[in-house]
Every structure is written in structure tokens, then in C-alpha cells.
Amino acid sequence: MNTDPKKRLARHIVGLPKSGIREFFDIVSTRQGVISLAIGEPDFDTPWHIREAAMFSLEQGATHYTGNAGLMALRRAIADYVQANFGGTYDPAHEVLVTVGASEGLDVALRAILNPGDEVLYHEPCFVSYGPEIAMAHGVPVPVETRAEDNFRLSVEALEAKVTPRTKALVVNFPNNPTGAVLEREDVEAIAEFALRHDLLVIADEIYAELTWGGRRHVSFASIPALHDRLILHHGYSKAWAMTGFRMGYVCAPAWMMDTILKIHQYAIMCASTASQYAALEAMRQPAEDMAPMLRAYEQRRNFLRAAFAEAGIPMHNPAGAFYAFPNISRFGLSSREFAVRLLDAENVAVVPGTAFGACGEGFVRCSYATGMEQLKEAAKRIARFVGTL
């Protein structure tokens, strides 16, 4: 008996929505000379000494696999960095895993903890991958709304409204993509207490940890000792070190959990790229020096955008972290998508419709300021001209 082979794909994957960002990029790619505020990666190149370390490792013959969890020297450096900057204590031998970007870390963590039908809370607007990744791991994604009025901070009341006896885990991402929101210590403590009370595992994606503005310091979920045994911490080199192409990230988790996470990584990935691991090891040598010029530039650009939007009459909450602004465009009477498409048409400036990050992103657009200041100035001028016509 012949069946249609096209019907033999995995149903839970076929049913996933396409990324809203992708759809918009397809439109952008048909045009010439666009100023793009749509990208989610640093405009800086990786600091030279880090690139050199990767090249040198190849020269030295580091062309083989490393251990599954990654180079021991790198895991030690990661444990030290996490201790110093996040306040969490992890044993480099058993509690640190080097991954192919934070993306792989999120995937292996979700696959390690979810049984079919387990519900996972995550807050929206959010990074486009969380919902699909939860679904790919046979979990049930349960979005929790955050709102501009609260500076897009995640409240325990909103979480309480969505938690059920089937909830297994909570995904949190601060500083946040796409809103630029950060949490205060009291928020982190309240969310941790919520997770403990409902017996939830916590997946903390803190990939933008170093990118906080106005003299703030990032408050990590790893700084809460009571959470340690149920926390999976995610970080990586893509953002603060401008190393997206190296595909380097890591997961920190208690040894009992890491055992299971490591099995998936071992069978699916074997180990992260060896040359990239040597680059990451070099990136751990003088992180503050490497990041300083980039962080200074991002903060200046953020300050510029806040002032420019205020002057153009575009309301915006305070984006205190990451490199995204998330202005509210609802007063102009267009949907997010219409606003983005018409802005592109009229002024050749690309921004991402807020709905790409969840339904509650309606009324907003994401503007990345991982873009040079000159381009940002020109984009702001064009956006002001565009909203003047609405």
C-alpha cells in the first residue's frame, strides 16, 4: 500500500509557525539600500585577539574533537566568570557544558526536562525561538504577557494566572529581546519564590547580561541560592563579545540535571567546534576590556534613540538592557506589520513588527541599535518624517 510520503513528516514540527522575523526579512531582502534596524546581532566584528586565537589553534593542530562537555580550561574559565558576575557556584567538571550557541543550550535543556504534555511558561514579547523549541521538545508553550506599563517586567500575578498542575518549567529572559526590559532584584526574588512554591524548573536565558544601561548591574537568577538546584542558566559569546559566527554558548546546571542534558548534547552534537572553543577561552582572558568600547557605543546609541523617539512623539518605555528599543506605535493607527511595511516602503528603513515576538507585541516595533550611529541618525530622521505623515 502506497501512502503519500509528504504526509510522513513529524506532525508537531510541520505544525510549527514560520518565524515572523523571517517573513519580514524576506520582504526586506527584495529592496536595495535599506537601513536596517531589524538585525539581532552586533554590528562589531569580534575583537582581533579572539579571532587570532581561533586561527592559532588551527595552526597548532587543534583540529580534533574536544571532550563532550568542552575544553576543561574553558569550563573552568566559565565557572569563574559566572561566579564573579552572576553569583552562582558551578563545578566546572560536572556542571558546565559548552554548547553551539545559547540556541543549542536551550534546545538540549528543554529536551532533557520535558515529557509530552508538560507545560512551560515563558513571557511575551520574547525571542522567537522559545515557543517552537518548547513544542519541538513535545512540551506545551504557555505564553505570559508582559506590558509596556510595567516596563515589560514579568510579574508574579501574571505567572499565577497561567500556572497549572501540569506546569513543569519557566523560561525567563532578561535583559530581554525584543523589549530591552531588565528585572530588579525584587522581581528576581519574587519570581524565584514563585518557581519554588510551584515546584518549577527555571530556564534563565541571560545572554544579554553584560548589556545593561544607566549604571545598572544585571541581576542573575543564579544569584539566588535557593534556586540553584532547579536552575538551568544559559549564556554565550554572541552578544557581549560579538561572536555570533563562532556559535559559542554554555549551560550551567546542577550535576544531576547536567547528566541528562549532556546525553542529548553527546549524541546530537558530540562537542562544540574546537577552534571556536579556543576563541571563547581567549575571550575569557580580558572580557571587561574587550566589551568596554562596544558597551559604550550601545549605550550612546540607546540614549540617542530615546531622545529621537521622544522628539518625534513616539512613546517608549525605558529599554534598560540588550540592544533593542521597543517603541509604541499604536497611536499612529496602523498595526505593527502595516507600520513596518509602510515605513520600509516610504523610507527604506527596516524595523521588526512587534507581533513577530508574540501576539502581545501588537502596537510595537523592535528597533535594534546594533547599528552604526550615522545609520541610526539617518534612520531616526526618516522614522520621524514617516510618522509625521500619518
Q: How far apart are CA 148 and CA 124, in angstroms?
A: 11
Shortest Å, Cβ 42 to ligand PMP: 10
Chain residue at closest Cβ approach to ligand PMP: 101
Shortest Å, Cβ 161 to ligand PMP: 23
Q: How far is CA 116 from the centre of its chain?
A: 25
Cell matching residue 67: 571532550
As a dihedral over the C-alpha atoms of residue 153, residue 156, residue 162, residue 165, rounded to 10 degrees, the angle is 140
Q: Measured from the CB atom, is 107 or 145 closer to ligand PMP?
A: 107
Shortest Å, Cβ 186 to ligand PMP: 22
Q: How far apart are CA 329 and CA 335, in angstroms?
A: 8
Q: Which residues have C-beta within 8 Å of that of residue 307, sequence separation ≥ 6?
A: none
Which residues here bind ligand PMP, judged by CB under 6 A? Answer: 40, 101-103, 127, 173, 177, 205, 207, 236, 238, 244, 249
Shortest Å, Cβ 372 to ligand PMP: 19
Cell matching residue 91: 563545578
Q: Measured from the CB atom, is 41 or 193 closer to ligand PMP?
A: 41
Shortest Å, Cβ 249 to ligand PMP: 4
Q: Measured from the CB atom, is 174 or 278 closer to ligand PMP?
A: 174
Q: Measured from the CB atom, is 44 or 332 closer to ligand PMP?
A: 44
Shortest Å, Cβ 342 to ligand PMP: 26
Q: How far apart are CA 352 and CA 344, in angstroms?
A: 10
Q: How far apart are CA 193 and CA 172, in angstroms?
A: 14
What is the per-residue DSSP string for 101-119?
A: HHHHHHHHHHHHHPPTT-E
Q: Measured from the CB atom, is 234 or 347 closer to ligand PMP?
A: 234
- Closest Cα to residue 244, out of 103, 133, 367? 103
Q: Measured from the CB atom, is 204 or 314 closer to ligand PMP?
A: 204
Q: Measured from the CB atom, is 242 or 344 closer to ligand PMP?
A: 242
Taking CA atoms, 354 is separated from 102, 120, 329, in Å, by: 23, 22, 10
Shortest Å, Cβ 103 to ligand PMP: 3
